[in-house]
Structure 1
């Protein structure tokens, strides 16, 4: 699921001019062709169309010189995963580099859209269609770059590997299979993920900063339930399931998890502080220097944009209770959704919630698997290559490490031992962010930027020894 490129609401635009593009008109046209065809496959959950999209991509790659041996499609129920290997000469002596995207999309009801969601339309400088942003753009630009490199006769010093999943928007079963069951077959050192990071543009279209997503918080939801025998509402009991649940919820509301930092969040706030300026910017700078600064922490936690980067957060999101208006409630249940700081397990967070709630009679249940993943180290070779790619288009643009409060396939990749970096080639305004929404769109002008971006990264990192 494509997340926000970066926090931008209070960031002033940096007036930086763009550089020349290397992507040709033919490269751009081919990318649009692949993207338009990919959009035409309705790959939301349960429709069985992901394997059809994978087969189409495989055909395009074979036309471009890849062999059956290079391409692996892994059927999984109605969906599929896909691995494509661009073979290197092995002279680096290193494992391959992965490039990730997902082929599935969220549902789209045509009657709600102004245009058909499954026919890509170019209009007023935008491409419209379900998945043009999340994440078929990543799929298409990565495939187009593989085709371009093959046509150029490029031979990397290590393998380059496309890793495409088929259910990132739902159960991530293909993600888990690729991460764990096919880990050794894929045989890579790290992954560059097209489904996160990227450059945010200010309202006037100038770039603000480029974000490298190097960590994700763990997504975990817990149900907390209070039960008792209930009875007739005319005969109240001292122990009322709704009141007992409400008491525990108020305690959780008042509780704040301790501040936590890692290399990524420290550099994020230290870099962003001078750009943002004002009270928020000063708080970022102070927090980066001293995470125990209560005043700085208070300022950051008062902002929905920044609170998630300061540590674990848990919030009540759903509530149900009782069964009749004239009966005492026999049960009351609340759902607590947590975004857990990397390095902390879901079980540890649950233990804290139980302690805060202070009621041993509450029954707790973890919803889902609560997979935790570590932050990825900010490798110099990766950061340097990304910086060189971005600065080729926009010299001097700020490079900003970022921790995602949402989630992508990257959480399983990191958990399986592959450091993962969200480095999308997308440059866009936050006002154009319609991923998962109606009339999803993408600025057409970002296509050459993305193609140059991936070409630079693959040739740079794929040439080192």
Structure 2
């Protein structure tokens, strides 16, 4: 890695994204976070410098979100919500090549926690707005600009709070755009873009096993840890069947066409695996996933605990949450208690309509002739909260990426980084979308 020490002359999008990365906005979950208020104040100050009036809301102490409204040329058209989040998941510096909160510029890239998820898009939103407003222009329609807290813990103290407590902020809005869509992948040596039209449902559960507390030297068959371990292993090793939705059916068909495969002879999994790094996201959209993520039990080597707990991240296809929970109950057995910690809806919108047409058009304006494909996101975004107001949400954070970069692998991963020229590309595409749509 060759660090670039001279930061003068750094393009504005990269500069803002770097500044945001340097705010440690780690969200630990269960109401524990830091830095969100400072990041929100930074964002608000930038919006105010563009002449916008901002509102800051705290769902809980220091869980700050920012809202601003931009008047469009035609306010009679449905407003577009353009939103990001300022929080990030934890990062262990021991595992990184750089300080995860240093905002390092090296090898033509910006490195740091949030470079991919999603302070890159936050910066693109701010600079696209700047390009429009500083030139004296207006977006085509009213924009609701939102930077939410708490997205990485389901948005309870961010987007959900604002939607439930202040729905008037989103009055007149019909559609929204945010993260994890509009980025490029490489198929058979050619570039294509994935535009996110939906996302899987989210069910975060806790498994609880109870047993007999005793001295560690005893013969105890009623061991809570053993029960939990057996249940976790069964659930974690469950192979959920493939089930295609309208979105994934369309995507698999397009992938097969581009790759020259016969979808009647080659299965969806095999087609997806040919997409290279993109498979990391796409494969999980073909089925339910149930991934154990945290184990908690015991407090001393020679004490058998009476309780053991495990957290499991469950992602189902839209509308299948109850059926999957019933299947999980059968898999883990009656001795294991299942506690639903957080639950949120799945989304699936059509890959058609004026917003989709305009997003494809502006991508082609900056990268002519490249295919644009719909996909269902395996994770979730704050679009889930906005859907409660009838707002259709899409993922459109446009990035033109090199083929060798494992972009999906860096979400919640190590050494997050984004090419500086991809940020410039995204700024330009987003500016055109907001001006024209």
Question: TM-score band, normalised by the shorter chain?
Answer: 0.7 to 0.9
Q: Which residue of 1 aligns with 2:70?
A: 86
Q: Kindly report which structure 2 residues correspond to 1:68-147, keeping only aligned pairs within 5 A, or say none.
A: 68=53, 71-76=54-59, 77-90=61-74, 93-108=76-91, 114-147=97-130
**CA distance in structure 2 between the aligned counterparts of 1:143 and 1:457, rounded to whole angstroms:** 14
Contact preservation (8 Å) 1:224, 1:333? yes
Q: Cα distance 1:360–1:137, how it changes in 2: closer, same or farther (>3 A)?
A: closer
Partner residue of 1:265 out of 233, 242, 248: 248
Partner residue of 1:404 out of 377, 380, 385: 377
Tell me if 1:383 matches 2:353.
no
Alignment partner of 2:267: what SS? helix
Alignment partner of 1:196: what SS? coil
Q: Kindly report which structure 2 residues correspond to 1:146-295, keeping only aligned pairs within 5 A, or say none.
A: 146-170=129-153, 172=155, 173-187=157-171, 188-193=173-178, 195-202=179-186, 208-229=191-212, 252=235, 256-257=239-240, 259-277=242-260, 281-282=261-262, 285-286=263-264
Contact preservation (8 Å) 1:265, 1:309? yes
**CA distance in structure 2 between the aligned counterparts of 1:395 and 1:137, rounded to whole angstroms:** 23
Partner residue of 1:37 out of 19, 37, 45: 19
Q: Cα distance 1:354–1:274, how it changes in 2: closer, same or farther (>3 A)?
A: same
Question: Structure 1 residue 258: deviation in Å?
Answer: 5.1
Contact preservation (8 Å) 2:55, 2:68? yes
Question: Structure 1 residue 351: deviation in Å?
Answer: 1.6
**CA distance in structure 2 between the aligned counterparts of 1:247 and 1:124, rounded to whole angstroms:** 46
Q: Which residue of 2 aligns with 1:340?
A: 316
Contact preservation (8 Å) 1:344, 1:372? no
> Mean alpha-carbon deviation: is it higher for 416-425 or for 57-66?
57-66
Q: Kindly report which structure 2 residues correspond to 1:358-377, keeping only aligned pairs within 5 A, or say none.
A: 359-366=333-340, 368-377=341-350
Deviations 1:185-214 (A, max 9, x none): 222111111x2113235499x762111112
Tell me the number of residue pairs that the alignment of Structure 1 and Structure 2 aligns: 414
Q: Cα distance 1:185–1:396, how it changes in 2: closer, same or farther (>3 A)?
A: same
**CA distance in structure 1 between the aligned counterparts of 2:137 and 2:34, rounded to whole angstroms:** 35
Contact preservation (8 Å) 2:212, 2:306? yes
What is the alpha-carbon root mean square deviation over aligned residues? Answer: 3.8
Alignment partner of 1:265: what SS? helix
Deviations 1:393-441 (A, max 9, x none): 2222111111111222233233443211111122224635445445432
Q: Cα distance 1:63–1:225, how it changes in 2: closer, same or farther (>3 A)?
A: closer
Tell me if 1:49 matches 2:29.
no
Q: Which residue of 2 aligns with 1:456?
A: 432
Question: Structure 1 residue 135: deviation in Å?
Answer: 1.6
Question: Structure 1 residue 274: deviation in Å?
Answer: 2.6
Contact preservation (8 Å) 2:192, 2:370? yes
Length-normalised TM-score, structure 2:
0.80
Partner residue of 1:414 out of 366, 374, 387: 387
Question: Structure 1 residue 155: deviation in Å?
Answer: 3.1
Partner residue of 2:50 out of 64, 69, 82: 64
Structure 2 residue runs without a partner (length 5+): 1-8
> Mean alpha-carbon deviation: is it higher for 79-88 or for 172-181?
172-181
Q: Cα distance 1:263–1:31, how it changes in 2: closer, same or farther (>3 A)?
A: same
Partner residue of 1:349 out of 324, 337, 344: 324
Length-normalised TM-score, structure 1:
0.75
Question: Structure 1 residue 99: deviation in Å?
Answer: 0.8
Structure 1 residue runs without a partner (length 5+): 1-26, 288-294
Q: Which residue of 2 aligns with 1:308?
A: 284
Contact preservation (8 Å) 1:176, 1:412? yes
**CA distance in structure 2 between the aligned counterparts of 1:132 and 1:349, rounded to whole angstroms:** 34
**CA distance in structure 1 between the aligned counterparts of 2:386 and 2:297, rounded to whole angstroms:** 38
